[in-house]
A and B are shown apart, each in its own frame.
Chain A
Amino acid sequence: MKNLFYYTVFPGFLFTVTLGFLSSWLDRKVTARVQWRVGPPLLQPVYDVIKLLGKEIIIPQGAPKFLFLMLPLVGLASAILVSTMNWLSMLDAGSGFVGDWIVVIYLLAVPAIMLILGSFASANPLASVGGSREIKLLLGYELPFVMACLVPVIKAHSIKLGEIIAFQASSGILLSSVSGVAAFIIALLCIQAKLGLVPFDMAEAETEIMAGAYIEFSGAVLAVFKLTKFIMLVASPLFLVVLFMGSEIKSIVGFLFVLLKYILVVVLLVLIRNTNPRVKIDQAVRFFWGPITALAVTAIILAMIGL
């Protein structure tokens, strides 16, 4: 019962979605300011979701109906789970909740898998193209992402998130070491791609394939996808906070401190998004498998020799 509360209310669904709304607003506001616009009001993301809930749901002909409606829900469920795990690793470091470092990395990929399957299930050629780009992007960033996330494990000699945080409490945050900084930069870029933010938004690419993977989703189903996105906007940067500058939350000040770190990561993501044009899919994969992977190898070697 306690776990259900964790999952649905705090720090799970309700809390994370609220934070996700705020982060999304922050993203749009900063973007607007960078482009000399005013930007949306604070509650705009909420209005968007409510508007979508009122629209009708259209299912494309030839799509497997059950699957088409089910996949977004699975994506949402695992996004909430991974966000809850990240929060609990800092709130209640000893418990470990449902899983460790490996589980988080796997669960972080599930919403993307569900989006890809959903786009394939739409029986729409544009969605197929969008979905195929999303997989290739996943292949691209997953290699350096795993390598970057391995750096804290090498340093802390543990795959339990709680122990990684405890290690950082005793011998300084990861970000204070050379390998930590390198790994953080890599992981940040991978998160950028994971969240589908410019310059890695080729799976949606409104101007060429009209939202690609999302094209056939409408109404409440699209709203579920939006909610998943908001939650992932919290969960993925938070995983970086846990790995690279994690600290146990013991008081309200500690909590605010973690929030501040999280907002810092989000602002970095937004700034990257606003200063780069969209790249092509082959450029993105080349970028991740080439220079970024080379950097990741360097980071791992540095971590192994103790820097």
Chain B
Amino acid sequence: MMWRVDILSSYIAAFIGMFGVLVVIYSIGFMKGKPRLFWYFLYTFLTIITSIGTVFANNLVLLLIFWGFLGLLLYLLINFGDKNSNAVAKKTFIIVGGSDSLMILGIGIVYLLTGTFQMDKIRLEPSSLSVIAFICLIVAAFAKAGAMPFHTWIPDTAESAPSPVSALLPASLDKLLGIYLLFRISAEMFIMNEPMRQSLLIIGAVTILAAVMMALVQHNFKRLLGYHAVSQVGYMIIGISTGNPIGIAGGLFHMINNAIYKSCLFLIGGAVENKKGTSELDKLGGLSRVMPVTFFCAIIASLSISGVPPFNGFVSKWMIYQGLISQFTVHSSQFTVTKFVIIFCLIAAMFGSALTLASFLKLLHAVFLGQRSYRSTVNRQPSTKIDEVNSLMWLPMVVLALLCIIFGIFTNQLPLKYFILPSVKDAAFIGIWNSHLATLLIIAGILLGFVILLLGNLSKSLRLDNSYVGTEIIPSENRPSGAEFYNTIKEFGILKGIYNKAEEGFFDIYEQGKRFVFFISGILGHLHNGVLPTYLVWCLLGMMGVLYSLLLK
């Protein structure tokens, strides 16, 4: 059997199709007037088709071919971005391609152990060789999804590639595929033992915290989103590596939810850049009146990603937490390393969601709220005239934002019932979340508050006035733009050192790899000094070596 069509692969393929269609619609508006459009759309369509092929593939070699081809398409698509995009595309290709070569190794070992390439027939017990195969395959999944330490291509891609490309690949398709592969590997093909599980959990927790801490201090809209695209992977990894049904279901659901709100956010980033010509947070501000539709989508997607109830991000995070807690309670009451790791992951995940919230509040302030940035206008008096992107661009964003609401409120009726729970058997909820009742009551509360406003003077006197600052109005050059909100946190003792190291690229596997390669070639470089006699000496030495070994034989 070359192909496998089960519920999981079908719904992932359906979502790939949906994201594909939305991004293509958006691209028609966004890429208008850009060169080489034919190739752009060709690569986009090929990406969508290849991704669908990947999830239906049941043969590891077939999967590998699709997987490698996707890496190439990603390289080609990133090249459509700004002037930096060439270098970024190269970096991406090296990281993703390098992980693909490990995947080949992993598949080879799997074949050696089992004698088959059929994914649904493989069931490997942990042994020293199978653990190596496991690690090789996991690296491929992690590089695609962008988990640490293979994440560094994502922030760069997010910044340099065109927004629809970021929305399509790193934000949605690569997440779907990477986590899909992770699920196939860790829940079906390999039986994980405790140390494997724990290392995955810790990688997940570190990914959440480190990436979101980096996101806090970013000054570029799209780069900030890129770091969040990394951080959210941590939740999915944690969910899937809890190993119990509810956690796995949470991880898979989070994969879908993340793809929805993250691609929505990237499309918003593109819309803002398209209208204002920049994605630097210092130069934006006060756009809520100017771009109301984009703002509406931004606020929904931001609240979803931060996990504010009743949006969809909350439900999947809630399921992942339950996975962790039920894993905790099945262990006996004594103190073990496992329990400690689980508690650490739970705290990291819950606190990570507060950090995510903080970083998105900063983003909302810097782009949509706060004082207007007047720099772009000539007469220093910004117009509040509506200047929204065209409907081809806002339609996909609105669809995605509405999906965030629908998947949050009708979570038991739609996504869980049709997609998630059928693909993960026996998922048992240990907590309670009645999204309908809670939403209804919150609406009742809003109405109640509205009555209070009416009891006050809402209907009679509503006056617009300048904002109250005490003295004169602060000129917009001196306004708090929001980008610098968390500089206080950057200065804290140990964090300061880590941030400095991170900015130097110390944690970047690509930079470190580059340093290593240059170090080796630097040593070898001494041999190539351009002097003919030196080369002749090397040739002679080589020939002597060959002769010696032949004679010895």
A residues apposed to B, CB below 8 Å: 3-4, 7-8, 13, 52-64, 67, 69-70, 72-74, 76-78, 80-81, 84, 96-103, 105-107, 109-110, 113, 116-117, 120-129, 131-132, 135-136, 138-139, 142-143, 146-147, 150, 153-154, 157-160, 210, 215-216, 219-221, 223-224, 227, 281-282, 285-286, 289, 300-301, 304-306
Contact = CB atoms under 8 A, between A and B. Distances in A.
9 contacts: A13-B445, A56-B463, A57-B458, A77-B442, A127-B467, A132-B362, A221-B453, A223-B452, A305-B334
A99 B445 contact: no
Per CB-CB distance, the 3 closest pairs between chain A and chain B, nearest first, are A220-B456, A77-B445, A73-B449
Nearest to B481: A128
A67 B453 CA distance: 14
B467 A62 contact: yes
Contacts of A305: 334-335
Contact of A146 (B335, B347, B480, B492): B347
A75 to B, nearest CB: 9
A48 to B, nearest CB: 13
A54 B456 contact: yes
A95 B275 CA distance: 51
Given A74-B442, A289-B492, A305-B335, A100 B431 contact: yes
A224 to B, nearest CB: 5
Question: How many residues of B sit at the interface, in one of the four size bands?
Answer: 35 or more
Contacts of A72: 449
Interface string B472-485: 00100011101001
Given A3-B437, A7-B444, A8-B444, A120 B370 contact: yes
Interface of B: 286, 288-289, 292, 295, 299, 307-309, 314, 318, 321-322, 325, 328-329, 333-335, 339-340, 343, 346-347, 350-351, 354-355, 357-358, 361-362, 364-365, 369-372, 384, 430-434, 437-438, 441-446, 448-450, 452-453, 455-458, 460-470, 474, 478-480, 482, 485-486, 488-489, 491-492
B405 to A, nearest CB: 14
A76 B328 CA distance: 35
B433 A99 contact: yes
Contact of B333 (A80, A128, A306): A306
A54 B460 CA distance: 10
A290 B362 CA distance: 24
B365 A131 contact: yes
B432 A99 contact: yes
Given A142-B351, A160-B432, A73 B467 contact: no
Contacts of B339: 304
A174 B101 CA distance: 54
A101 B318 CA distance: 10
Given A62-B384, A76-B449, 6 more contacts: A57-B456, A113-B357, A125-B480, A126-B470, A127-B467, A220-B453
A139 B434 contact: no
Given A64-B289, A117-B361, A160-B432, A81 B442 contact: yes
Given A132-B485, A305-B335, A117 B369 contact: yes
Given A57-B457, A98-B433, A300-B343, A113 B448 contact: no
B474 to A, nearest CB: 5
Nearest to B463: A58
B445 A78 contact: yes
A95 B493 CA distance: 47
Between A13, A54, A101, A159, the greatest number of chain B beta carbons within 10 A of the residue's beta carbon is seen for A159
A134 B371 CA distance: 18
B536 to A, nearest CB: 65
